[in-house]
A and B are shown apart, each in its own frame.
Chain A
Amino acid sequence: MKRNPLPQHFRKYNIWTNKAVEINDVHKSYMGSMALKGISLDIDKSSITSITGHSGSGKSTLLRIIQGIEKPDKGEVTIFNQKIDYSSPSIGLKNLINQNVGIGFQSPMLMGNHSVLDNIQLYLKGKGVEPNFPTILDLLFKFGLDNKKKLDQPAASLSGGEQMKVALVRALASKPQLLLLDEPTSAIDSMGTKNVFKTLRDIVDTTGTTIVTVTHDSDLIQDYIDKEVTIESGELL
């Protein structure tokens, strides 16, 4: 019998579908301008899916709808067979999945005054999760943040690329089943981008995590992703 890889409390949402995310006919407009025109897309579990497109194509809008941050005008998004309730007073995924979804933004959004370690552990604690330091350190080392001195420094003293990596570790530290990333390597050079995605690939292969990432240029990461979807003018190509 196949073992259910999800945590106990999360299993109630899972009815043995192979889909991590199901997007059905999602529309979104801003001030009369259509950003998304009926997007439908399924994302398999334990895969890396890259959403690409030009600036203003609607790729980030789609990801933010999956993240539960933006509310679609029409259509629905299902995560692990559970519809996101955008009408809930607390828009977002927290009521639905809490620590089982990791979120990354276009900028690191770290607490610049707090240390690197605090940025990671306090996020977990705020959600009521006790941090596992070996896991956190392992992730930091995997992303090349292996300078112990830097871990105690204020996050604001790190370079932009390092801060993005810390934000990635922060999103991964709770061992999420789904990771939703918005241009995670925008501040990282091409070599660094490859290294980041190689690490993400390893994580997916070893833990079964599903990753959906928005990228500007997917050429660099072709070797590490399972699927690429392109959005142009709010429509899937």
Chain B
Amino acid sequence: MNEINNNGPNLNKPILDELGTSIESEQRKSNRERLAIGVAMAIGATAVAGSIFTGDASHFEITKSMPFNPMAQQFMNSLDSYLAKFGEVSFPTVLAGIGLTKIFANKNSKLDFIDKISSKEMVSDSVHKESFLKKILQKSFAGRAAILAAIGVTLASFSVSVGNEVTNGPERPIIALMDKIPGDTLITESAQAQPMLDGQLSSSLVGHIEENAQSKGVNAVAFTKNLGEITLKNGETYNTLEFGFETPKTSKIYWTVTEGCKNIPVYVDRSARIPLNSNISIDGVSAIATGEINGFSAIGREGVEMSDQVMKDCIQKNIKAPDYAVVLNTSPNEAKQILDESNTNHEAATVITKSQYLKNSVKFWEGNVKPITNTLALFSGLFAFVAMGASMAGRLTRNKRELAAMSASGINNGVIRASEILRAAKDSVIATIVGGSISLVTPFIVNSLEAGFKAGIGLEELAVGAAVGTIGCIGGVIKPLIRIKKNIDVAENTRVS
């Protein structure tokens, strides 16, 4: 037996001394490294703080000079429709897969195992009583609500709904306008005409068009368009999309210039919620909201209708103010003929169809906004993917001993994989239902923030959410499951810890 004194066993002293010296040396090295990192961080912190303090940081944008890529824009423009198509197939497929597993689980032991294991976490941090809702969920379907994936689903559906509204919302006033004026053909200044682009036809050209059309028995209606502003008495302002029409004397907005530009009667879109007979100001001209119109609003623009005469005399302040377009109830060919006969001064003017006018609007907004909102939808999917991958990795870590024991006891890794995939499939359905339900209320938030904005969640938006839920939940667990043998390491995890 070794003799023990205060210095430990005498026999091992040289070895202990050597070991002690080695440990001390390693610790000194580790301390030096830590000191170097600390100094580097302090220098970094000083540099960042200095940059913020001097204001330099506010002008510093790393990605600002990234070049525009038209192919990427085209792909991102269509991403929501790809995702929607995928979601339309994936959601019912996943649901059917889960349903079939449950149906055949009564006849097949392994399917029974897969269904039950995938409905409940193997281990929990405590043995507290489970909530009633969780019990119901476990009995009927899955053991938990995949909240992070549900958030991804909500964000994806919401982003796409915003993108769709931004792209298609401006169609509303066009459709409403075109419904008011019979005819499918327009004469406009350019073929790219759409409400956000200013254009004009001179009053003499419009006069000639009207004369020629009348001689051919074609109805021609000219109208004026202006992008302006309403100011309420309390100072609140709305951007407007103003249309001026010829109005009959019986109309509430009939107006004669002899009365002067004071208290002009206008109709304002219902979405502005301006009480009837309110005194307002339109582009600096006093007006009264004598009535309402519906469906004339677009993003951030409240539709306003007034008489063509008052628009020219009071808003545009010019008796010979140009018109914006003429609508003809005839074919494009005859309209072209009328235009050619009328355009003796060779002004810039062309014939387009109503549907072309609509397409121009959609293209304008789509190119401006949709790639951005679709990128947000893509990020939502990536978020769900990463979140579910991390969740799966966490579950493997939590359950690796139980999984290792199963594997060692003869349960095939394929069966274990199948149960985890089914768990992910159940998560995806729950995430889609929860996230989709939450997404239904999200448009109210943006709709209340932006006048005339009418985002909504429909089947397409829900299908995009379902795609994000499926890709996120099932895609996220694939990688850890491919290497399940390595991840659960039977030899390592069946040892006593």
Contacts and interface: CB of A to CB of B under 8 A. Distances in A.
Interface of A: 64, 67-71, 90-94, 97-99, 101-103, 105-107, 109-114, 118, 122-130, 154, 156-157, 171
Contacts of B416: 126
B113 A92 contact: no
A126 B494 contact: no
Interface of B: 109-110, 112-113, 116-117, 120-124, 127, 401-402, 404-413, 415-416, 485, 490-491, 494-497
Contacts of B406: 123, 126
A161 to B, nearest CB: 16
Where chain B touches its partner, the secondary structure class is helix
A129 B112 CA distance: 11
A90 to B, nearest CB: 7
Contacts of A71: 491
A122 to B, nearest CB: 5
B127 A156 contact: yes
Contact of B494 (A94, A102, A109): A109
A125 B112 contact: yes
Given A92-B407, A98-B410, A128 B110 contact: yes
Contact of A113 (B122, B404, B494): B122
Given A101-B410, A118-B116, A112 B124 contact: yes
A109 B410 contact: no
Contacts of A129: 109
Given A90-B485, A92-B410, A101-B410, 10 more contacts: A69-B494, A94-B410, A103-B410, A105-B405, A106-B496, A109-B494, A111-B402, A112-B122, A126-B412, A130-B109
B142 to A, nearest CB: 14
Nearest to A106: B496
A123 B401 CA distance: 14
Contacts of B494: 64, 69, 105, 109
A217 B421 CA distance: 44
B123 A127 contact: no
A67 B408 contact: yes
A101 B490 CA distance: 17
B113 A125 contact: yes
B491 A127 contact: no
Contacts of B127: 112, 154, 156-157
Contact of B490 (A69, A98, A154): A69
Nearest to A158: B127
